[in-house]
Amino acid sequence: MQEILQNIQSPQDLRTLDKKYYAQLAKEIRAVLIKTITQNGGHLASNLGVVELTMALHLCFESPKDALIWDVSHQSYTHKLLTGRYAEFDTIRQSGGLSGFTSPKESMHDFFVTGHASTSISSALGLAEAQKIQGISQFSVAVLGDGALTGGMVYEALNNAGQSQAKLIVVLNDNEMSISRNVGALSRYLSKVRSQPEYRWTKLRVERMLRKIPLVGDGLAGGASALKRLVKRVLTHTTLFEDMGLDYIGPVDGHNMEELCAALESAKLTQRPALVHVRTVKGKGLDSAELAPEQYHGIARQDPEDAVQGKSFTDVFAEILCEVAEHDPRICAVTAAMSMGTGLERFKEHYPSRFFDVGIAEQHAVTFAAGLAKQGMRPVAAMYSTFLQRAYDQILHDVALQGLPMIFAVDRAGFVGADGATHHGLYDVAMCAGIPNVKVFAPSNTEEMQEILQKATKNDGVWVIRYPRDVAEMEHVPAAYSCEAFDLYGDIGAKTAVVTYGRLFYGTGKLHKKVCVCKLKQLLPVDQQAVESVMDCERVFFFEEGARSGGAGEHFALELLERGFKGEFKLTAVDGFARHASVEELLAEHGLNATGMEKLCEV
């Protein structure tokens, strides 16, 4: 029974709570997190790690007057519990329920829909500058993890913030993890900073003591702080953040409410943007999550019916890539902090010298891979579809324009379910469609994945191979006609044709007796023979698990039109942003499941 938590209807209730109950409240919150996320799926370890930090933020700031901006925001579950959403928290990530990320539609305490890393400082600074212009004296707080520091956008924002006098506070949640353990020089730098907390913590306490002196306290503290900074610059090396113009406070124990509140209150008294460095334990309060936080970053629903039966496309991709790399020393793999999610842990184990995890830095990952390709390697960049969006210019300018051979393994293509709008992989085809010299493929089973990936490693150009988080070992369906770019099924001479690709093909089974089904393996450029195969049809229905505008369906329709197609063409794809729900629910909602296809085709 959550005796304290159930009575917290708003942050104001938390601020009136006797501090002797803080530990019990934190315990109750963790119990709710574990129970709910185990049932519904979601991000467990990251949320367990920020319970006390979230409580301290709502104690020290007045949301929504003060804006709390969560980077990525998958760690905002405690924030939701403290801002009036306890009663419906058991609906999180369920169709029609709470989002697993912040959402302004849910609450005035959520300022942005966020699902990608390294963006919070930019948006928080923009809010703070607008408030300054409008004469509003409130704080804007960006809360980000240390994994986000590998994203270049953070430094663009910090560079800008260092010149600002806006009321911006950056809270760095340092748990040494993103999804996998953090890598690179910045991770080592934070380790060095963590080992020297005494000076900064003493400085914080002295400043707080001086500010308590009536009338002259703020002036004394400000003067002392400036003098300290001057002496420190002469005698010691400052932190990176101080060099960029921010006041640095920390490291602070992220599970000690007294230290957290003291640090945040001190940050509010600075005369320029401040950064509070907080150390937390990812998975705090659950032994198994603390020991293996990467395995508990995101967990699936604990329902046997939801278990993936058989190898996923991710598994198949990883196996084939390792097999190809064994015989081709040019093959190397690049990922952006997603070695586990993309299946590359296996490649890392077998070929460590040819494996590169660059951190949460998709733009850098692509251009870095371009450098590898220029020197004769054959890089395979494995990313989720939603994160590949962040590197559009690099694909166009640094890879395609240069004519470099490169393979993009685009995981989680199509609907992803409960993670919702920020994570659906619906835009990669349309994104790549406007880039010259890019080929886009969509295998629908293990054999096609193997065929396409092996050909990609042996040929020049940019190859994009997109696939869902789904079972790859589908039941074999014999084709009436097969070639490299597409297969034909059912009645080839029928006057009605269905064109589709990927996992949607397996919803066309009942149509095979009455229509011609064209399953595309190559989406772009549109294969002319595939177009020719349906030119004589009176009706052509194209079903696409992707964006309607600019997708494969529109390009296929254009080719038909230019060839003089006289029949009816109907495209069923995704318009706008899709909500969070199960993949099955979303396919049905958008008319992309078997029932929707059969109904539209009227057979």
Same domain, 442 and 503: no
pLDDT score of 223 more than 80: no
**Cα dihedral value 8, 13, 18, 22, nearest 10:** 40
- Number of domains forming the structure of the chain: 3
Evaluate whether residue 482 is within a structural domain. Answer: no
Same domain, 156 and 264: yes
Last residue of a domain, one of 236, 258, 292: 292
**What's the pLDDT at 220?**
52
pLDDT band for 356, please (50, 70, 90 cuts): very high
Same domain, 582 and 533: yes
Of 169, 173, 177, the C-alpha closest to 68 is 169
Q: What is the CATH number of the domain that holds 437?
A: 3.40.50.970
**What's the pLDDT at 161?**
94
Evaluate whether residue 503 is within a structural domain. Answer: yes
- Catalytic residue ranges: 282, 362, 390
Q: Residues 243, 246, 250, 253: is their CA dihedral positive or negative?
A: negative
**What's the pLDDT at 562?**
96
Same domain, 101 and 227: yes
pLDDT score of 231 more than 80: no
Q: Cα separation of 499 and 541, whole Å?
A: 6
pLDDT score of 543 more than 80: yes
- Judging by DSSP bridges, how do beta strands 378-384 and 331-335 pair with one another? parallel
Average confidence (pLDDT) over 388-406: 97
pLDDT band for 219, please (50, 70, 90 cuts): low
**What's the pLDDT at 203?**
55
pLDDT score of 426 more than 80: yes
Q: Is residue 409 classed as helix, strand or coil in its secondary structure?
A: strand
pLDDT score of 199 more than 70: no
Same domain, 197 and 328: no
Evaluate whether residue 474 is within a structural domain. Answer: no
CB 518 within 8 A of CB 498: yes
Evaluate whether residue 300 is within a structural domain. Answer: no
Same domain, 334 and 436: yes
Average confidence (pLDDT) over 472-490: 90
Evaluate whether residue 475 is within a structural domain. Answer: no
* More confident position, 232 or 163: 163
Evaluate whether residue 62 is within a structural domain. Answer: yes
Cα 130 to Cα 104, 139, 144, 356, 393: the distances in Å are 19, 11, 21, 40, 29
Same domain, 45 and 176: yes
Domain that holds residue 440: 313-466
Evaluate whether residue 479 is within a structural domain. Answer: no
| pTM for this model (two decimals) | 0.86
Quick one: angle between helices 22-40 and 51-60, nearest 10?
120
Last residue of a domain, one of 411, 432, 466: 466
**What's the pLDDT at 305?**
43
Burial of 575 (0-12, 13-18, 19+ CB in 10 A): exposed
Residue listed under structure tokens 């962040």: 390
pLDDT band for 228, please (50, 70, 90 cuts): very low
pLDDT band for 299, please (50, 70, 90 cuts): low
pLDDT score of 260 more than 50: yes
Last residue of a domain, one of 257, 292, 327: 292
**What's the pLDDT at 208?**
59
Residue listed under structure tokens 């003089």: 564
Same domain, 130 and 235: yes
Same domain, 284 and 333: no
**What's the pLDDT at 512?**
93
* More confident position, 427 or 183: 427
pLDDT score of 475 more than 80: no
Least confident interval from 425-429, 474-478, 521-525, 530-534: 474-478
Same domain, 182 and 232: yes
Q: What's the distance, CA 519 to chain centroid?
A: 30
Q: Report which residue type is found at 337.
A: A
Least confident interval from 287-291, 434-438, 476-480, 538-542: 287-291
What residues contact 360, with CB distance under 8 A and at least 6 apart?
117, 118, 147, 148, 150, 151, 178, 336, 337
SS (H, E, C) 169-188: EEEEEECCECCCECCCHHHH
CB 331 within 8 A of CB 320: no
Same domain, 103 and 208: yes
Same domain, 431 and 492: no
Q: Cα separation of 366 and 392, whole Å?
A: 9
Which stretches does DSSP call E strand in 341-473?
355-357, 378-384, 406-411, 438-441, 462-466
Evaluate whether residue 131 is within a structural domain. Answer: yes
What's the chain's length in residues? 603
Look over the chain and give the mean of its residue pLDDT values, rounded to a whole number. Answer: 89
